[in-house]
A and B are shown apart, each in its own frame.
Chain A
Amino acid sequence: MSITVSLYVENHVLYVNLNGELDHHTSDQLRSRLNTVMGESQIKHIVFNLKHLDFMDSSGIGIILGRYNQLKSMNGTVMVIGMKPLVSKVFELSGLSKIIKVIEDDSQLESAIRGIA
Chain B
Amino acid sequence: MNNEMHLQFPAKSINESFARLVIIGFIAPLDPNAQELNEIKTIVSEGVTNAIIHGYEDNEDGIIDVKAVLVGRRLRVTIQDFGKGIENIELAKQPLYTTKQEEERSGLGFMIMESFSDQFEVHSEVGVGTIVSFEKEFLPLDSSAQ
Identify the A interface with B (CB < 8 A). 1-2, 21, 23-25, 28, 31, 55, 57-59, 61-63, 65-66, 86, 89-90, 93-94
Interface size on B, residues (CB 8 A): 25
How far is B52's CA from A28's CA once the two chains are assembled, in angstroms?
13
How far is B36's CA from A86's CA once the two chains are assembled, in angstroms?
10
Q: What 19 new A-B contacts, CB under 8 Å, besides A24-B49, A57-B46, A57-B49?
A: A1-B20, A23-B13, A23-B20, A23-B49, A24-B16, A24-B53, A25-B17, A31-B104, A55-B38, A57-B45, A58-B105, A59-B49, A61-B108, A62-B106, A65-B106, A89-B35, A90-B42, A93-B112, A94-B112
24 contacts between A and B (CB under 8 A): A1-B21, A2-B17, A21-B20, A23-B13, A23-B16, A24-B16, A24-B49, A24-B52, A55-B41, A55-B42, A55-B45, A57-B42, A57-B109, A57-B112, A58-B49, A59-B49, A62-B103, A62-B104, A63-B104, A66-B104, A86-B35, A93-B111, A93-B112, A94-B106
Q: Measured between C-beta atoms, what is the minimum distance from A85 to chain B in Å?
A: 8
B145 at interface by CB-CB < 8 Å: no
User: In the complex, which residues of chain A have a beta carbon less than 8 angstroms from the beta carbon of B41?
Assistant: 55
A-B residue pair count with CB separations less than 8 angstroms = 67
Is B35 touching A23 in the complex (CB atoms < 8 A)? Answer: no
Mostly helix, strand, loop or mixed at chain B's interface?
helix
User: In the complex, which residues of chain A have a beta carbon less than 8 angstroms from the beta carbon of B104?
Assistant: 31, 62-63, 65-66
Mostly helix, strand, loop or mixed at chain A's interface?
helix
Q: Measured between C-beta atoms, what is the minimum distance from B115 to chain A in Å?
A: 6
